[in-house]
Amino acid sequence: MFYRYSDAVPVMMVPGIVRRTLVSSDKLMICRFDLETGAEIPGHSHPQDQIGYVVSGKVRITVAGKSFDLEAGDTYSAPSGVEHKALTLEKAVVVDTFSPPRDDYRTESK
């Protein structure tokens, strides 16, 4: 199967953060996040494992109370049920994978 970025529906999660669900299967989901400088994803957790890749820009990711500043080429992991959050230090693009997929992100994308 093949999917075009232009077909992904943009969803404003919070001010300054737009998510696009790029592709989803029964076991895996890939999303792109466009983050404006200063935008924050509040602390949260979910039952999915999450692994992210910073495509461009700089973000501060906090997982289980430990913060790290990431830039293009860096990755991070937020295990199932562990609280995590993000602060955009410089306009950024981040690609996240979720396993299993997040049903709320599938529904919002339709």
- Give the model confidence (pLDDT) of 29-62 as tens digits: 999 999 999 999 999 999 999 999 999 999 999 9
- Under the banding of pLDDT at 50, 70 and 90, the label for residue 106 is confident
Residue 64 to residue 45: CA distance in whole angstroms: 10
What is the mean predicted confidence (pLDDT) over 76-96?
98
108 pLDDT exceeds 70?
no
Residue 99 to residue 79: CA distance in whole angstroms: 10
Which pTM was predicted?
Answer: 0.93
What single DSSP character describes residue 98? E
pLDDT value for 107: 65
pLDDT value for 1: 83
Domains in the chain, ordered, with CATH? 12-94 (2.60.120.10)
Contact 42, 76 (CB under 8 A): no
pLDDT value for 109: 54
